[in-house]
Amino acid sequence: MKERIERLKKLTYIPQNDIAWLIEQAELSVKQREIIEENKRQQEITVHQFRQTQEEIRHLSGESRRHKKALEKIITNLNFAIQVAQNELDGAAE
């Protein structure tokens, strides 16, 4: 495309106004294509980051559930140990 633009710039039998307009349109088209390609690239990056984030959220949610269950077991065991100690204290006091 850029080669064509340069070739058009060198032509002398096309009126200057027309050639200037053609060049402007061609350059605009190239810029628009570059912008579209960059937007597509950014969109792909965003989609990839979104999917990674979703996976991380799923992972952390599962980890959080496992930690919560482990803490519930620890609390249950501690409550049981406290109850046993309380019973022993009550038995020793009698």
For the chain, the straight-line distance linking the first and the last C-alpha, in angstroms and rounded, comes to: 100
The rounded distance, in Å, linking the Cα atoms of 8 and 20 is 9
Q: What is the pLDDT along the chain (94 residues), one digit of tens a residue?
A: 678 777 777 776 777 787 788 889 989 999 999 999 999 999 999 999 999 999 999 999 999 999 999 999 999 999 999 999 998 888 877 6
pLDDT of residue 72: 95
List the domain boundaries for the chain. 2-93
Whole-model pTM? 0.54
